[in-house]
Chains A and B, each alone.
Chain A
Amino acid sequence: DAKTTQPTSMDCAEGRAANLPCNHSTISGNEYVYWYRQIHSQGPQYIIHGLKNNETNEMASLIITEDRKSSTLILPHATLRDTAVYYCIVRVARGSARQLTFGSGTQLTVLP
């Protein structure tokens, strides 16, 4: 699976949009970008995934650059409960039995 690079930490004001970047310059054509988050002392939670088109769900939006070498996760209106470590993971498509490889992630702190 392609390696990802994320900033170690970020702060965001409550109510503002949180934009979390991820670089994955070695991504292959059949690899998806997944985002998970882990609130302190809990198991990871799936947020969103995408291949090359931008995606949106009830939790977040995912913007993938045209060359697919980087992406941005957007939490449109961050709340205090969004404080967590956010992991960007690149892996092959659905149906693979391969595990998720977690990097160091980005610690997002939402400030009141």
Chain B
Amino acid sequence: GAVVSQHPSRVICKSGTSVKIECRSLDFQATTMFWYRQFPKQSLMLMATSNEGSKATYEQGVEKDKFLINHASLTLSTLTVTSAHPEDSSFYICSARFPTGAPGGSYNEQFFGPGTRLTVL
């Protein structure tokens, strides 16, 4: 199946700093990528939908000025957590939507990255 990578896999930072997380679709072009957040023992919660070349769409309650999303190319979306605080510590997961009708496509439209564990001290 298609591969989605995330970098870094784990990051520890001090409170007040900004952290950038990259999500890449390695063998397909993704016009749409999704960013999820998962707190311990909880399910994945969608934060925002990232569309290549346009502004991201944020879910209710997610601060767009704090979680900056850039989808500048068809294979890369970035999530920047600005002025991170301990309550932002979480597991951040991206997924990339496989283009409908593209060769190698399937009904498994979304492929997930391995996640990034963010710890803010």
A101 touches B46 (CB 8 A): yes
Q: Name the segment of A21-29, A61-69, A92-100 touching the other chain.
A: A92-100
Do A45 and B112 touch across chains, with their CB atoms under 8 A apart? yes
Residues of A within 8 A of B89 (CB): none
Interface residues on B, range: 20 to 34
Of A43, A49, A97, A100, which contacts B113 at CB under 8 A?
A43
Bound Cα distance from A99 to B93, whole angstroms: 13
In the complex, the answer to whether B112 meets A41 with C-beta atoms within 8 Å is: no
> In the complex, how many angstroms separate the beta carbon of A31 from the nearest chain B beta carbon?
13
Chain B: which residue is nearest A91 at the CB level? B109
A102 to B93, CA, bound (A): 13
Interface residue tally on A, bucketed by range: 20 to 34
B44 on interface, CB distance cutoff 8 Å: yes
Q: How near does chain B come to A23, taking the closest CB pair, in angstroms?
A: 17
User: Is the CB–CB distance between B108 and A104 below 8 Å?
Assistant: no
Task: Give 1 or 0 for each of A36-67: 1 = CB within 8 Å of chain B CB.
Answer: 00100111111001000000000000000000
B107 touches A94 (CB 8 A): yes
B110 interfacial contact with A, CB 8 Å = yes
| A95 contacts B100, C-beta separation under 8 Å | yes
Give the interface of A toward B (CB within 8 A). Answer: 32, 38, 41-46, 49, 87, 94-97, 99-105
A-B contact pairs, 21 of them (CB 8 A): A32-B107, A41-B91, A42-B114, A42-B115, A43-B93, A43-B95, A43-B112, A44-B44, A46-B110, A46-B111, A49-B108, A87-B43, A94-B100, A94-B107, A96-B109, A97-B32, A97-B49, A99-B46, A102-B36, A102-B45, A103-B43
